[in-house]
Amino acid sequence: MINYLQNNSDAVLTALRQHIWLALLPVVLGFLIALPIGYLGVRFPWLYHPLVNVAGVLYSIPSLALFVFLPVVLGTKILSPLNIVVALTIYTVALLARTVADGLRSVDHLITESATAMGYRRFRRLIDVELPVALPVILAGLRVATVSNISLVSVGALIGVGGLGQLFTRGFQLFYLEPILVGVILSVLLAGVADLIIVIIQRAVTPWTRFQGGRA
Amino acid sequence: MMRFGRFTAVTAALALTVALTACGADEDPLANDNGGGSAAPGTITIGSANFAESELLAEIYSQAIEAKGVQVKRQFNIGARELYLKALQDGSIDLLPEYNGALLSALTPGGAPEGVSKPEDVLGALKKVLPAGTEVLEQSPAEDKDTLTVTQETATKYSLKSIEDLKPVAKDLVIGAGPEWQERYQGLKGLEAVYGVKFKEFKPLDAGGPLTVNALVKGQIQVGNIFSTDSSITVNKFVVLEDPKSLYLAENIIPLIRTTANNPTVSGALNAVSAKLTTENLTTTLAKVQVDKQDTASVAKAWLTENGLV
Amino acid sequence: MNLDYLFDAAHWEFGTSGSIPQLLLSHLWYVVLALAIGTVIALPIGLYIGHTGRGSFIAINAGNAGRSLPTLGLLMLMVTLLGLGLLPVLIALTVLVIPPILTSAYAGLRSLDQRVVDAARGVGMRPWQVLTRVELPMALPVLMSGFRSAALQVVATATVAAAVGLGGLGRLLIDGLAVNDYSRVLAGAIVVAVLAVLLDLVLAFAQRWIVSPGLRVSR
């Protein structure tokens, strides 16, 4: 395996870089889109259940199908990385919109009422009070979305754009274990590192959660 | 202090993470929506099909062109012809290695025209049906044909020598090939139309790859579509069935290129490759990838060096 | 892109190999087997960790660790090692369903009011009785939600089996892509999504049926 890495370091690095891009850009985009949608699900409670259901259906569309259809819908070229980015953004939104809504719903009424009493208007209260209190829940969802995106990117290799997934298909076409193993290991490592980064961010921005004992 | 709050900090941190990874990336998926094609002016995007030989040839093309100072972007392993031709037409890729007969057959509804089987005839017919905006360069004498291949045991058991012999027994046999074979003329359709051969079952596997070879060895299929340059044929002592009615035409390797990407430097480099490529040296070179598991880039480099092309 | 393939009666004939009902059945077979094997493996471990509190580190992190394994890579790895067959698919899909079941079994037990468990011990129940008569029934809502998310995930992911020459609804996607028939790809995507929704409904009903009515109010 070391041998394979030495001989193919360029190809592996290119695949890894592409993988990082394709997986993480959708996390950021999806997060930004999911925030307002999740908020709407709380602001207008009748929206919550339709939102959860639509998200569930979106999430059950096989990724390969989405990769194939997006060019038709968006008018992009069939090998455009944009197709992967948009598809994974959709999954991220489907996952996070619900998490954001759940996170905001979990905020204690006493907290919001105190904030109102202190003179917070709705928007400021949302940004300064409710979202920070909901952050642990939202970030937990973000971890899930990030890790599953990193795993899903490789399916793109079936249509020629798949970051580390290219190593899977290359190895599979030769029944050659090394590239597949390298791809799987790098993909898992990447997910681990990304997950760790979010955990570190979470610890830094929500110090109060550390004092509540080990409750998961 | 808390004006922007923790929440903004998270968003900023995330954005920063991606921005940092972006610094190291030479490709920005959003910068240009061209599927990687023409990333910089003059760059040629080279594609390949989803099997080892196509990738090897694409790598040989890439290095030959790079040696002439042209920037190359590799977009290998796209899929079957049905998929990569679309990528070529929408400009996702500019160039890829093709096989003249298979390409002709794919572009002609109902299969290749009658009586066309020699390399020159195939090339002539092919030039008439190429998709708009694409052209072919000079074809090489090297050929790689689709074959119907069986194990020694199956050949003996049913006394098979040619595809014609399959007709009476095919109803008991399972055939394996890439999924694209279901609809291809040079697949199930042509086998039925030309030879009257109809198999018991079709198993969609891979394009002449290890899945097909493996299934053949283990008896999960009895007939497999394997490429004639594939080392697995000699390794496993497979029997390649003859094709007396020329369902599979001449299959010379030929570069298919978008007209906009073609220029004398590129065509000069590729024509030199085609001139040196033979069925024999392709077969031995491919074996280095398939059997010895050497990496494609060094195998391609070695071939180009041996033939004085770099 | 249109619905022709989906609505063509010829593609619904049960007898033809490769017809939608046959693919659906093999797809469901992969899903059910993976869920069954996954449950047999993950449930006892999750319950053990939740009941004893030992090894909770594993349970908390199993979820994300499992999700990070790329199923396509794992599947190609397994087929390369074991050859074409049902086993490699089952391994790859089982690995996918273990984490959510394990984590939810653990979380279900941990979420219980400790006073209830103490009360059960107080009335003289043995550990096994505490687990099966008190903890497990009360943890069921959380456990079922983990099981349902595992089911959803595996229904969508089982499509990759077709990429390595096996059956299931993924065939419609892979073959449609290979022969440039988007109508077939669309049919595959729709059938998979509908299957996921139906399966989730069935499990939701099952949940109502098996969860004690006394626990419903809080949900």
Residues of A in contact with C219 (CB under 8 A): none
The CATH number of the structural domain formed by A2-207 is: 1.10.3720.10
Arithmetic mean of pLDDT, C171-187: 93
Residue C211 carries which DSSP code? Answer: S
Arithmetic mean of pLDDT, B245-273: 95
What's the confidence (pLDDT) of residue B173? 97
Nearest CB partner across the interface for B215, out of C17, C84, C171: C84
* CB contact (8 A) between residue A169 and residue C68: no
Residues of C in contact with B83 (CB under 8 A): 177-178, 180
Q: What is the pLDDT of residues B212-233, one digit of tens each?
A: 999 999 999 999 999 999 999 9
What's the confidence (pLDDT) of residue B262? 95
Measure B199 CA to nearest chain A CA, in Å: 25
Does residue C127 fall inside a structural domain?
yes
What's the confidence (pLDDT) of residue C61? 79
What's the confidence (pLDDT) of residue A214? 46
3-class state of residue B255 by DSSP: strand
Does residue C4 fall inside a structural domain?
no
Number of domains present in the structure of chain C = 1
Does residue C56 fall inside a structural domain?
yes
Nearest CB partner across the interface for A201, out of B13, B22, B297: B13
- Minimum CA–CA partner of A155 in chain C: C72
Residues of B in contact with C80 (CB under 8 A): 210
How many other CB atoms are found less than 10 A from the CB of residue C63? Answer: 23
- Minimum CA–CA partner of C83 in chain A: A175
Which of A183-192, B20-29, C12-21, C204-213 shows the lowest mean pLDDT across its residues? B20-29
Residues of C in contact with B211 (CB under 8 A): 79, 84, 164-165
How many other CB atoms are found less than 10 A from the CB of residue C74? Answer: 23
Does residue C42 fall inside a structural domain?
yes
What's the confidence (pLDDT) of residue A91? 95
How many other CB atoms are found less than 10 A from the CB of residue B293? Answer: 16
For chain A, list the contacting chains (3+ Cβ pairs, <8 Å): B, C
Q: Is pLDDT above 60 for A4? A: yes
What's the confidence (pLDDT) of residue B34? 42
Which of B164-168, C8-12, C52-56, C157-161 shows the lowest mean pLDDT across its residues? C52-56
Arithmetic mean of pLDDT, B103-109: 91
Q: What is the pLDDT of residues A146-188, one digit of tens each?
A: 999 999 999 999 988 889 999 999 999 999 999 999 999 999 9
What's the confidence (pLDDT) of residue B274? 97
| Helical pair C56-68 and A131-152, crossing angle rounded to 10 deg | 50
Return the structure tokens found at A15: 């695949």
Burial track B248-280 (b if 16+ CB lie within 10 A, e otherwise): bbbbbbbbbbbeebbeeebeebbbbbbebbebe
Query: What value does the mean pLDDT of chain C take?
Result: 90
Return d(Cα C45, Cα C29) in angstroms, integer.
24
CATH number at residue C83: 1.10.3720.10
Q: Is pLDDT above 50 for C94? A: yes
Nearest CB partner across the interface for C77, out of A165, A180, A195: A180
Enumerate domains of chain B plus CATH numbers: 44-144+250-306 (3.40.190.10), 146-240 (3.40.190.120)
Binned at pLDDT 50, 70 and 90, residue B137 comes out as very high
Tell me the residues of chain A between 58 and 77 that have a Cβ less than 8 Å away from chain C.
Answer: 59-66, 68-69, 72
* CB contact (8 A) between residue A60 and residue C164: no
Q: Sign of torsion, CA B74 B78 B84 B87?
A: negative
Residues of B in contact with A174 (CB under 8 A): 52, 209-210, 289-290, 293
More confident residue, B9 or C156: C156
What's the confidence (pLDDT) of residue B237? 96
For chain C, list the contacting chains (3+ Cβ pairs, <8 Å): A, B
* CB contact (8 A) between residue A18 and residue B25: yes
Query: What value does the mean pLDDT of chain A take?
Result: 91
Query: What value does the mean pLDDT of chain B take?
Result: 88
Return d(Cα B178, Cα C90) in angstroms, integer.
23
What's the confidence (pLDDT) of residue B10? 62
Q: Which domain holds residue C75?
A: 17-213
Residue of B200, B213, B220 to mutate, interface with C, max C Cβ within 10 Å: B220
Q: Is pLDDT above 90 for B115? A: no
Burial track C14-43 (b if 16+ CB lie within 10 A, e otherwise): eeeeeebebbbebbbebbebbbebbbebbb
For chain B, list the contacting chains (3+ Cβ pairs, <8 Å): A, C
Q: Which residue(s) pair with B74 in the sheet?
A: B46
Residue of B1, B14, B301 to mutate, interface with A, max A Cβ within 10 Å: B14
